[in-house]
Amino acid sequence: MAGPMGGGSRGGGIALDFRRGKTSKKILEIDWVYPVWKPVERELKPGETTVAAERERALPLEQAYELATEGDRRPVLIMRECERCKGTDHALLTRSLDNEQTVLLTHWFRCVKLPPNVLSEKHPFYNLFLREKEGERIPHLFFVDPDGKNKTELPGDQPQTVLWETMFSYLERCYAEDAKAAIKELRQVLGQYDMIDAKEVAVKGRIDTEIEKNGPESPKLKPLEADLHKLAKERAVLAAKEKELRDLALKAMPATAAPSGSGASK
């Protein structure tokens, strides 16, 4: 089963299908986590009155991955913002094409977003984006195993087909179940949620109209309330199906070489 997900936000100006109902729109959000390094407070030794605060510094690569993943066993997507794209998901999502599949695929990754100053040498996560060679282009995002192995970098302006191919390659390697089949069914689930949402809006509108015309004791309200109850039961069944489709089982991954980029200065 997939690991826990962090709190999320969705960047603006991105092509999602806004004909979707409120439930689908909520599902079509990326659950970004924003890891923050905190200095470790050392206990006072005998004779000490103060302890110097631990200075912010670039963490060794292994520690950086530990802080970014917090024990989450899912494959990891790590994206850095730049000053131009800050507050958006433009390095991952396209502004002109349908991003639904991309967003649904991110639900099987731990999605980590880092600020533009991650490229400053004293930032705790600096080594995650360390330039290996002079003049080398620094990636905007990369996919990696939670222990820092099997890293695949992307520039941020990659074609959508390349992004999907990369994401599916991790899902096929890391999960025991078929993500491609699950995605097809999840998109059908979104359509079913949309129908339920539309029916609920219509029934609630009729209830409001009836109360306005004939008051809250109108006998016509009972069947309308029964319709709402039926839709709620349909929603619960659909939510259980959605959960089942999302909960792909992770494989037990074998140990491999050292974290990608582990030659970085520590």
Q: What is the pLDDT of residues 175-222, one digit of tens each?
A: 999 999 999 999 999 999 999 999 999 999 999 999 999 999 999 999
Whether 206 and 223 have beta carbons less than 8 Å apart is answered as no
pTM: predicted TM-score of the whole model, two decimal places? 0.82
Q: According to the CATH classification, is domain 22-39+52-177 in 3.40.30.10? A: yes
Q: Say which residue the tokens 């109850």 belong to.
A: 229
Q: Note the Cα 211 to chain centre separation in Å.
A: 42
- Which residue do the tokens 């109360």 mark? 211
Per-residue pLDDT, 255: 54
108, 171 contact by CB (below 8 A): yes
What are the structure tokens assigned to 14, written together?
């991105």
- Domains of the chain by residue range: 22-39+52-177, 181-246
CB 210 within 8 A of CB 224: yes
